[in-house]
Structure 1
Amino acid sequence: MTDKGIIVGVIEDHPLYRSALAQLLEATPGITLDALADSVTQFAARRTHADSVVILDLRLPGVRDSAAVMEVVAMGHKVLVVSAYAGPSEVLGAMAAGARGFLSKDVDGDEILRAVHLIGAGESYVSPMLASFMLNAARQAGPMIELSGREREVLSLVASGERDQDIAAQLAISIRTVRSYLDRIRDKTGQRRRSELTRYAIEKGVLAIPARQSA
């Protein structure tokens, strides 16, 4: 969050829905609209802030689906996926790629704004749909390899999209210690890449589910 409030960008290839999102965001106090784009490539060229919340569709021209999420997260943004495609594979794949939240396009504007505010404040937004998919995945995935309490904390923060330096600040430990915990987690789980650790955390129910605010 900046002195301009929450900076929000939009990557959506449907012109009418993109326009509707822009109007919603511009009409909301405390939110400043940044780049509007119909693809990840166009967004990268138009964005003016490196740490905004980005509302992202999945079925985009060029880079799309989980790869689009990963690319926008790699730019330093917090991603909220809003998509008409909201099955378990799309939802869990997007979260594993680093999205902070996922909503289907049939939600109302108030829920989108609620998600933007939570993500802009550094949290994740877990809708009832997403919570259901995560819990089902956890039930189907079998028992979790035993991790220490601190290892679970680190894994949960990784799954929430936090960088090593952010995890260190939140847990009041050094970046070197964070990376030591990550090495232990990788050795125990057999998952090496960050996206694989995130998927593992989602499947095992480690990703923290914040309390949903009342409307």
Structure 2
Amino acid sequence: MTQARIRVGVVEDHPLYRSAVARLLDEAEDIELGPVADSVARFAASREAPGCVVVLDLKLRGVADAAAVLEVVGMGHRVLVVSAHAGQSEVLGAIAAGARGYLSKDADGDEILRAVREIAAGNSYVSPTLASFVLDSARDKAAGPKLVLSERERQVLSLVAAGERDQDIAEAMSISVRTVRSYLDRIRDKTGRRRRPELTRLAIEEGLAHDLGR
């Protein structure tokens, strides 16, 4: 009996790298190439049936970073991030958002295929050079105190994770932009997270973003 091929899509905005990855996948005998797109929105427009493995860049136009992972996972796909940005915050943010694997763009074709096959089999795959980030984070989370945010702060944080701007958050919560920024300052003071991608990752870690991006 012939084993079903692995359906794999690509979301990557760099034309040459997108073409190279698509060709690598298309030439593998056990892989069926799915949608190839330059943004999450264009991938979503393909209406790919759930269950695809998606090779995803992080720095995309439109929805990006952990929010991009969250949206693709919300479509029912398994995400392998392949990104030139492989710092601790990017790796942990993507994993927290539901990515099943993470490689830097230094990875060769064989490692990309190996990661795709592992993820398709229901496993996870993180490049050995990045695995220490995940292990260190797990230890820190087990040892650290639980973060305490007010209900309004949690609501603001969930809207940040959804990609909303300060003005949009103000309208959604019927408060002023100044008040939104005051909540954000408090969240930053409590957590030490300054940038929006870091706040998105925090929302995911705190379970405030599970229904976003669907």
Provide, for residues 36-62 of structure 1, a one-character-per-residue CA deviation record: whole Å limited to 9, x for no partner.
000000001124332100000000000
Q: Distance in 2 between the 1:3 and 1:194 partners?
A: 39
Residue in structure 2 matched with residue 26 of structure 1 by the alignment: 26
Residue in structure 2 matched with residue 17 of structure 1 by the alignment: 17
Residue in structure 1 matched with residue 204 of structure 2 by the alignment: 195
- Partner of 1:112, secondary structure, is helix
Provide, for residues 140-171 of structure 1, a one-character-per-residue CA deviation record: whole Å limited to 9, x for no partner.
446279xxxxxxxxxxxxxxxxxxxxxxxxxx
Residue in structure 2 matched with residue 86 of structure 1 by the alignment: 86
* Aligned partners of 1:103 and 1:127 also within 8 Å: yes
- Partner of 2:43, secondary structure, is helix
Q: Distance in 1 between the 2:62 and 2:31 partners?
A: 28
* Aligned partners of 1:96 and 1:195 also within 8 Å: yes
* Aligned partners of 1:35 and 1:47 also within 8 Å: no
Aligned residues: 150
Shift of 1:88: 0.1
Greater radius of gyration (CA): 2
Q: Distance in 2 between the 1:130 and 1:197 partners?
A: 23
* Aligned partners of 1:98 and 1:195 also within 8 Å: no
Q: Distance in 1 between the 2:35 and 2:121 partners?
A: 20
Gaps of 5+ in 2: 146-201, 208-214
What's the Cα RMSD here? Answer: 2.2
Residue in structure 2 matched with residue 53 of structure 1 by the alignment: 53
Residue in structure 2 matched with residue 185 of structure 1 by the alignment: none
Worse-superposed segment, 47-56 or 91-100: 47-56
Gaps of 5+ in 1: 146-192, 199-215
Give the TM-score normalised by structure 1.
Answer: 0.65
Shift of 1:128: 1.1
Residue in structure 2 matched with residue 36 of structure 1 by the alignment: 36
Q: Distance in 2 between the 1:109 and 1:197 partners?
A: 35
Aligned letter for 2:23?
Q
Residue in structure 2 matched with residue 154 of structure 1 by the alignment: none
Q: Distance in 2 between the 1:33 and 1:68 partners?
A: 20
* Aligned partners of 1:34 and 1:47 also within 8 Å: no
Provide, for residues 74-126 of structure 1, a one-character-per-residue CA deviation record: whole Å limited to 9, x for no partner.
00000000000000000000000000000000110000000000001111112
Residue in structure 1 matched with residue 7 of structure 2 by the alignment: 7
Shift of 1:131: 1.6
